[in-house]
Chain A
């Protein structure tokens, strides 16, 4: 302000763009850790669900169902308040990553189970009678067929987790959404900043969507 008075609001500058990019980087780190970890865990859970029958559905299935039925934001608040209680304070980014990972694994478990069940029993028996071991059957028969069947669902889950990483802002982790929120308070230009944040989310989800499309097309022919 030219008159030298107290300045309450600040212009949006290129530097702010860098700050937003920093936030986007943390969003990328949190969500990719959560997606990778969640996919590995979820795959394992999905396999357990598919082999353990009724017992698994009641125990593991029920626990995973809780993760899917409680809003992620409530899970985040609970988690971040629970660890100090048992004597392990966690920082916001770690807590956010862990909660998102569990949430992701609960969603992926369903997808993975559907993928395993999409493989006809007869195909697997055929594999086994050719002399494949159980693990060979899983690796060379179930994995390729099941993966093709559920790739679009998995992509949906991964993109969902990326978007839900915005909720970690409630823990003040310094990721994209929280950085933008603070910048809005400072510059009073919500449309610009939310627009840029939206573009960043778009840019982060684009590679996942493209990769999945690419794989889907390539797998169609082999």
Chain B
């Protein structure tokens, strides 16, 4: 083995990497928030059974779930670019991930709503609740419990997907690592440290989601 490891350049750049890690977290969290809103909308539209817009939601969900996330990001980068819409790398990653998250979450939400028996709604209504009250106080809390675990998974998945930003010129954790690595020619060392940072980020997400679940679903 003639290769000598040089860790010094990596540790000199560690603050940059950690800052990029924050960008990774930011874009993932934001894409989740947008994805949850869009996914809920898609699920509700699909369940409403309106055929005119149902094909649209089905198309969205199927494309998001059955093609590589990278392909979806490329649609938002040079796909839209061909029509003169040039998004910044940040927006490309955010839009692509929100699109992807929404497709996956829509299916989780649909499953969650389907798991709540109709009688729950009827019981709530017969107790004198309005439809909105019944949804907010009876249905949604139960659905939340069911979709909480898939949502946590999706958040972890979002962090992993955001690394594709590297391929569309976005300097989140993987992209920043690539940039620094090319500068210093210490590719292996840089990516090893980045792998550790990703691991820590994922662990933090899982741990905090457990804490939130423990606080939220105590009864």
Partner-B contacts on A (CB < 8 A) = 66, 69-75, 77-78, 81-82, 85-87, 159, 163-167, 169-170, 177, 181, 184, 188-191, 194, 197-198, 201-202, 205
Task: Pick the contact of B74: A70, A77, A159, A190 (CB < 8 A).
Answer: A190
Contacts of A85 in B (CB 8 A): 1, 3, 188
The reply to whether the CB of B164 lies closer than 8 angstroms to some CB of chain A is yes
The reply to whether the CB of B202 lies closer than 8 angstroms to some CB of chain A is yes
Per-residue CB proximity of B75-88 to A under 8 Å, as 1/0? 10011011000000
B187 touches A77 (CB 8 A): yes
Residue of A70, A72, A170, A184 with most partner-chain B CB within 10 A: A70
B191 touches A77 (CB 8 A): yes
Chain B min CB distance to A147 (Å): 22
Q: Given A191-B79, A194-B79, A198-B63, are A72 and B160 neighbors across the interface (CB < 8 Å)?
A: yes
Q: Given A70-B198, A73-B166, A74-B195, are A164 and B82 neighbors across the interface (CB < 8 Å)?
A: no
Contacts of B81 in A (CB 8 A): 190
Q: Given A166-B68, A167-B70, are A190 and B82 neighbors across the interface (CB < 8 Å)?
A: yes
A-side interface mostly: helix
Task: Pick the contact of A73: B163, B187, B192, B202 (CB < 8 A).
Answer: B163
CA distance A77 to B1 in the complex (A): 19
Contacts of A170 in B (CB 8 A): 166-167
User: Would you give 24 A-B contacts (Cβ < 8 Å), ordered by A?
Assistant: A72-B160, A73-B164, A73-B166, A73-B167, A74-B163, A74-B194, A74-B198, A78-B195, A85-B1, A163-B67, A163-B68, A164-B68, A166-B71, A167-B70, A170-B166, A170-B167, A184-B74, A190-B74, A190-B82, A191-B75, A194-B71, A194-B74, A198-B71, A202-B67
The reply to whether the CB of B11 lies closer than 8 angstroms to some CB of chain A is no
Q: Given A78-B191, A198-B63, are A188 and B70 neighbors across the interface (CB < 8 Å)?
A: no
A70 touches B195 (CB 8 A): yes
Number of residues of chain B lying within 8 A (CB) of chain A: 36
Q: Given A71-B174, A74-B198, are A81 and B191 neighbors across the interface (CB < 8 Å)?
A: yes
Residue ID in chain A nearest B157 by CB atoms: A160
CA distance A170 to B163 in the complex (A): 12
Residue ID in chain A nearest B159 by CB atoms: A71
Contacts of A163 in B (CB 8 A): 66-69
CA distance A23 to B163 in the complex (A): 23
CA distance A33 to B40 in the complex (A): 37
Inter-chain pairs besides A70-B199, A191-B79, A205-B66, 4 sampled, C-beta below 8 Å: A66-B195, A166-B68, A194-B74, A201-B71
Task: Pick the contact of B71: A81, A159, A189, A197 (CB < 8 A).
Answer: A197
Residue of B68, B156, B164 with most partner-chain A CB within 10 A: B68
Q: Given A66-B199, A166-B71, A188-B82, are A74 and B191 neighbors across the interface (CB < 8 Å)?
A: yes
B188 touches A81 (CB 8 A): yes
Chain B min CB distance to A67 (Å): 10
